[in-house]
Chains A and B, each alone.
Chain A
Amino acid sequence: MRADDVIDCHVLVIGSGGAGVRAAIEASGYGDVVLITKTVPGKGGCTPMAEGGYNAVLKKQDSCEGHFSDTMKGGAYLNDPGLVRTLVAESPARFADLIRWGAVFDVTEDSQVCQRPFGGQRFPRTCYAGDRTGHEMMATLIDRLGLSDVRVLSEVTALDLLREGNRVIGALAIDECGDLLAVTADAVVLSTGGGTRIYDISTNSSSGTGDGFAIGYRAGAELIDMEMVQFHPTGAVYPYDARGRLVTEAVRGEGGVLVNALHERFMKKYDPERMELSTRDVVSRAIATEILQGRGTVHGGVYLDVTHLPRQQIEEKLPVMLEQFLKFGVDIRKEPMEVAPTAHHMMGGLKITTECQTTLPGLFACGESAGGVHGANRLGGNALADTQVYGKRAGEFAGKSEKRIKKIDPDQVRREKDRLSAFFKGNANPARVADELRQAMWKGAGIFRTAGELKATLDTVNRLATIPLSARSSRNLPECCTVQNMILTASLVCRAALLRPESRGAHTRTDITQAWDAEHSPFSHTFLSLAGEGIEKRGGAA
């Protein structure tokens, strides 16, 4: 590496969503910070698209204990209780940070933050800014980032971590022209978000390709619960290219109802107590079942109806939904939406402590890249809270890392260069390989799973991993690396799904009958790393 292609700093943050930017802001109080992002900061990832809200205990009638038990129950008791306690305890303070930095959340007449009911929660604690809460948070965070002296490398794609022995000391990355660069750091934070772009139908932005999972796994870190993929119950169904687009849970929070082709409010059959505001895994399975059993609409969905709500409520509380559907010729004030489940969030990820420390020294993780906070199913509104609570903690504890001298191993650089130059000799169109991956995953590793289908899917994924991808120019190199990350993430999902011999939360094995419910399951986390894989028994022992 040329000397001027190496940047040294105290903390390197990879990813510029809600968690990454929050981590960079926090870390900047401890030393030099470099933020690498493969998109334009603030535009990529799912945070700017997030519509629902931010869960926080703000009212006297609410309690952290309540938020904790709702989250544990929603997570099918697979969550790490320590991570959940910290999440619910610190969420209000992180919300206050956003307010202090200028966030424009909806308030009541007497300046109280508005909070709405959301799935799986027994108290309305979801703060919101219309139906663009994520955009509001991202705008606030990017503003605050601009006041700091974090050095932002825009449209630079992280490739792999640099290691000195077991310790992570930085990362290799590639810019938009395809030039390699290295960043050495005393601590690295992986905050690259999720990966459900490995599925054909997904809510995710283009960057939801599991880069953090793949990069962490390749470096030797342990990942837990990778089988836990949340399918959001309501994604758009047509036109074809808009399949999977998020239709926020807030629609149901405002009173929207789900109705099948026979005009039945079918949630009565699946969760009569909570109906449309049941947890996402229950609602997704319900909708998928209605469709599979022939009670779906012409386009293969069910109806989500808000026509009974006052026009003003829709225009004020759901303006993004109104605008998006109008673009496709549907006025949600007058006609129902057609929706169907869509791959949305990865509950699993890099195993972390409450200080965001992964199993590799020098490596921290936060946000959707990390696992254990949401267990087997995430409550709506907890992800945005997660980005702030754990983004801050990752920045803090990465920032508190010791300063040290870092030495780059030239062999690691050479191996990365070899990996990249192989793409110039490849012959397979990466876009077509990605298409094949997405179809296979949607078919065989979706909402309803069997060992047979999972094994077949894993075989396909492993075959795709051997296909030599082709980069037409050096600007096409980041794309090839991303497809490799998608393939690796997909294989982790399939492997983990095969490791869990029960249905739990979002993970449904239709080929298994079990005598226990989630609270009494004998199993804890699945774990995957280069060193081995398995499933822990409840109580922690493998």
Chain B
Amino acid sequence: MKEVTVRVSRFDPACDKTPRLETYIVRVNEGARVLHVLHAIHDGIDPTLSYRYCCGSGQCGSCAVLVNGEPVLACMEEARTGTVIEPLKLPVKKDLVVDLLPALKNLPPLQPGDVCVMPTKQQIDAIKPLRSCIECLACVSICPAVDVTSFSGPTAMREEMRLALDPRDSVNRVPQAIEKGLFTCTTCQACWKVCPKKIEIPGKAIEKLRALANKQGRTLPRHQEVAALVEKTGRSIPRTSESFLEKVGDVIEPYGPVKATVGFFVGCMYNLRQQQSAFDAVEVLRRNGIRVVIPKEQVCCGSPLIRTGQPDYVGTLKKRNIEAFTSRGIDTVLTMCAGCGTTLKNDYTTPFRVIDINELLTECGIEPPARLPIRATYHDPCHLLRGQGIRDEPRGLIRQVVDLVEMPSICCGSGGGVRSGNPEEAAALGKRRGEEIAKTGADIVITSCPFCEFHISEHTGKPVKNIATVLLEGYREKDRRKQGGR
């Protein structure tokens, strides 16, 4: 047996204005789950603690709660001392019990037609990954879009797609899905990372529903414009001045001996907008022994098309991009745009390795920069944190230059076609990032994605810098000190 101390949110609408955290110390068995801690509190200390549970084995979804801010199933999450247990971010009825019924009502029922067509094995196999939802509402709790728009939530979209795949359903699910906020999803992937059944809602429901919308001619006009631009120019953003690729050489040698050679996949944003970040990155790479090969015939990775349900031209883009690197015998391709990185890693099948700049610099080790007297906070790009599982590497690099204060990792609002298709929502989410940044008291915000850089800078007074820029500032300071002989 072991002793566990937890803090649990208590709230009785009959007599409390706001929730408060109560501390409890209980003894539980080895291997106990959070649910057994709640039982121990209820059975041994305070029977008025209200919480839900049924199956106790991760199959009914009744017991979802927040543990240290993350939605989990209490019956499956191991009990650890020092944790905070709160209700999901849904209307609270009492203590840990939330009102599930409004969100559950958003789930559309199957409408059988007159004739029942038995699905084929292929259809069943397509439906099955979407079917194991236990309606725990963890995804609804964590979805940033649900907070700021009238989005029915991730699991409602999952159900629309499940029905769209089923020949026994007689309704066209696409218009309904659009009405319920299909295009408000930023594809931040928070939902499936907390899903106890690991249902890939963004890839298997949101993007696929948007693709069905495309077939029905319902793609947002703004998204259609982007697709047309990609087909015409190979880029998802208009060229307003000389691009990065037009300015830079074909091969850039490092300052010292070559530690590694990479091909550089630049991406539309760094190519045509945040060029300075790309130049800063190349400089950092040169200082750390990386030879950078930059094929000029590379084009848009296709992510703006994939996320908005317009996959038709993507095959052409994939072929051009893969060949640009394989024709030069490159076995490692570097990305610094989180969106391009997750696309090349997860939507492409490449013969070469794809690596994000934070991974590369961590793997090779960097020349230590000078420390700067700055307090920074870091914004995790969704496509880096969740799309590629890269969390510690940027923090390790940042901490070598500046002091880092953390803030919660929530989408900035610019992904998934939302910045172009739903600017009000993007602004609302951006504003929240600004508020979180202000709360940290940091002097600057660091991030590692051009969309985040671009979007967040519109919603905060603090400078928003790419991680490469900050590292380079550390190197410049180091050089200054050496020269100045301080």
Chain A interfacial positions (CB closer than 8 Å to B): 39-40, 42-45, 48-49, 99-102, 104-109, 111, 129-130, 132, 135-136, 139, 143-144, 146-147, 154, 176, 205-207, 238-242, 245-246, 319-320, 323-324, 327-328, 429, 431-432, 472-473, 475-476, 479
Task: List B contacts of A324 (CB < 8 A).
Answer: 57-58
Partner of A107, one of B29, B33, B53, B121: B121
Q: Closest Cβ of chain B: how far from A144's Cβ, in Å?
A: 7
Contact of B128 with A by CB under 8 A: yes
* B134 CB-CB contact with A under 8 Å: yes
| Interface band, chain B | 35 or more
Partner of B47 from the list A109, A144, A431 (CB cut-off 8 Å) is A431
State A135–B121 Cα separation when bound (angstroms).
20
Contact B128 A130 (CB under 8 A): yes
Contact of A472 among B47, B52, B62, B109 (CB under 8 A): B47
B interface, CB within 8 angstroms of A: 28-33, 36, 39, 42-44, 46-48, 50, 52-62, 76, 93-94, 97, 100-101, 104, 107, 109-112, 116, 118-121, 124, 127-128, 131-135, 163, 166, 168-169
A241 in contact with B32 (CB, 8 Å): yes
Q: Shortest Cβ distance from A242 into chain B, in angstroms? A: 7
* Shortest beta-carbon distance from A475 to chain B in Å: 6
| Total of A-B residue pairs, C-beta within 8 Å | 137
Contact of A49 among B59, B94, B168 (CB under 8 A): B59
Beyond A39-B54, A49-B55, A102-B169, whether A147 also contacts B109 by CB under 8 A is yes
A136 surroundings in chain B (CB, below 8 A): 131
The docked-state distance in angstroms from the alpha carbon of A147 to that of B137 is 21
**CB–CB B168/A43 < 8 A:** no
Which residues of the partner chain B approach A205 to less than 8 Å between Cβ atoms? Answer: 54-56, 60
Selected A-B contacts with CB under 8 Å, 15 pairs: A43-B60, A45-B54, A48-B60, A48-B134, A99-B168, A100-B112, A107-B121, A136-B131, A146-B107, A241-B29, A242-B57, A327-B76, A429-B47, A475-B48, A476-B47
Contact yes or no, A43 B29, CB < 8 A: no
Report Cα–Cα, A107/B167, bound state, in Å: 15
CB distance from B29 to the nearest CB of A (A): 4
B28, B109, B166: the one within 8 Å of A146 (CB)? B109
A248 to B169, CA, bound (A): 31
Query: In the complex, how many angstroms separate the beta carbon of A241 from the nearest chain B beta carbon?
Result: 5
Q: Which of A99, A104, A239, A323 contacts B29 (CB 8 A)?
A: A239
Report Cα–Cα, A431/B43, bound state, in Å: 6
CA distance A191 to B37 in the complex (A): 31
Nearest chain A residue, comparing its CB with the CB of B77: A327
| Bound complex: CA A306 to CA B121 (Å) | 26
- Report how far A246 CA is from B449 CA in the complex, Å: 46
Per a CB cutoff under 8 Å, which of B30, B109, B124 touches A143?
B109
CA distance A140 to B128 in the complex (A): 13
Q: In the bound complex, how far is the Cα of B110 from the Cα of A144, in angstroms?
A: 7
Shortest C-beta distance, B131 to chain A (Å), equals 5
A432: chain B residues at CB < 8 Å are: 43
Distance in angstroms between the alpha carbons of A10 and B269 in the assembled complex? 65
- Minimum CB distance partner of A46 in chain B: B55
A104 B127 Cβ-Cβ under 8 A: yes
Do A44 and B60 form a contact, CB below 8 Å, given A136-B131, A154-B101, A239-B30? yes
A242 cross-chain contacts in B, Cβ below 8 A? 31, 57
With both chains docked as a complex, state the minimum distance between the C-beta of B95 and any C-beta of chain A, in angstroms. Answer: 10
